[in-house]
Amino acid sequence: MEMFIQTLVAGILIGGVYALIGIGMTLIMGVMRIINLAHGQLMMVAMYITFVLYQFLNIDPYFALLVAPPALFLIGAAIQRYLLNPLIKIESIIPENQVLMTVGIGIVLTETIRFMFSSDYKSVKTSYSTATFNIGAISWNVPMVVAFILAVVLTASLFFFLLKTDVGKSVRATAQNKDAAMIMGINAEWITQLTYGLGAAMAAAGGTLLLPIYYLFPDVGGPFTLKAFIITILGGLGSAVGAIMGGLVLGVAESLGATYISMALKDAIGMVIFLLVLVFLPGGLKQLTKV
């Protein structure tokens, strides 16, 4: 029983960070109607930025939260503007060419990082990386708890932004109906850039929060791209609230799977959930709750 609760706790904590990353992709999905297959790779770039700040300038990873996400915001917005947006005007047989473009971007990001840092594993070992505290019989990993709390704070501020600010409302309007939004005078092109930038920044924040606990290598992005899209599907393609639940479900399922089934199959569990959702609940979790 204790082991079960311990596993559950670990799953929820990591799930909070997953949710943060997943919301980024969900935002992009909502506004651009594409799956961003460079999502994990953008996160990976942010992790390297954080790593460099720590390694060479001795900046604490949590401070890097002030650097890496803004940097990725700019990179993301530039990618949207110069690589993705021009595709809208190209008439091609394959409608998914934006998605395919993100695959190319993902490869280039990964290979650029490999070129600069080699394929070696890196890590940021802070003084608190392995620190834990106990509540009852359950032990809590400090950086995980901090990551979870910060993820919740960031998610909450994103919601505040989307629900309460004018720009945020424009983002939601564009996601609901692009044409109508444009008629209402919203500059959809600008909103789309902003959204992709924001999506990348959310992924960056997630990556930065994970860094004290994770190993870092150029190929770390791929699996996270897959996680993010599983979350997006779980949440029901474009629902931010759904994505939070999706992130938590994925975190818990992976955690339980790793403990009770097999560590090696941990990554497959998300995929299996994805297929189950596809078969039994194609509208995603939001279908259950109507939010």
Partner 1 sequence: MKSLYAKIAVLALLAVFPLFVGSDYYRHLVIIALMWVVIGASWNLLAGYTGQVSFGHAIFFGVGAYTAGLCTTQLGISAWWGMLLGGPAAMLVGILIGFICFRLRGAYFALATIAIAEILRLIAIVWRDFTEGMQGILIIQTFRSKVPYYYLALGIAVICMLLIYKIIKSKWGFYFIAIREDQDAAEALGISTFRYKSLSLMVSSFFTGLAGAFYMNYMGFIDPEVVFSLHFISIMAILVSIIGGAGTMWGPSVGAFIMVMLQELFRSSFFGYAPSWVSHAHAMAFGVLVILVIRFMANGVVGDWSKITNLWSKGKPAALVTNGN
Listed residue (219, 199, 281) closest to 246, CA to CA: 281
The pattern of x and - marking residues 220 through 259 that bind partner 1 according to CB under 8 A reads --x---x--xx--x---x----------------------
**Quick one: CA dihedral 261, 264, 265, 266, positive or negative?**
positive
Kindly state the smallest distance separating residue 171's Cβ from partner 1, in Å.
20
Are 134 and 124 in contact, with CB atoms under 8 Å apart? no
Binding string, residues 178-217; x marks residues near partner 1 by CB under 8 A: ----------------------------------------
Stretch that binds partner 1, among 6-14, 68-76, 98-106, 154-162 (CB under 8 A): 98-106
For residues 194 and 177, give the distance between their C-alpha atoms in angstroms, rounded to a whole number.
17
Residue 16 C-alpha from the chain's centroid: 10
CA angle 124, 56, 46 (to 5 degrees): 55
Number of residues interacting with partner 1: please give it, by CB under 8 A.
45
Cα–Cα distance, 276 to 85 (Å, whole number)? 33
Q: Bridge-partner residues for 138, per DSSP?
A: 135
Check if the beta carbon of residue 30 is closer than 8 Å to that of residue 175.
yes
Q: 148 vs 229, which CB is nearer to partner 1?
A: 229
CB of 103 to partner 1, least distance (A): 6
Query: Tokens at residue 198, please?
Result: 């924001």
Phi, psi of 141 (to 5 degrees): -80, 125
Instruction: Please select the residue that binds partner 1; options are 3, 116, 167, 268, rule is CB under 8 A.
Output: 268
Which range, of 42-50, 52-60, 89-97, 152-160, touches partner 1 by CB under 8 A?
A: 89-97
Q: Is 275 in the site for partner 1 (CB under 8 A)?
A: yes
Q: Using CB under 8 A, list all residues that contact partner 1.
A: 35, 37, 83, 86-87, 90-97, 99-101, 103-108, 110-112, 114-115, 222, 226, 229-230, 233, 237, 262, 264-265, 267-268, 271-272, 274-275, 278-279, 282
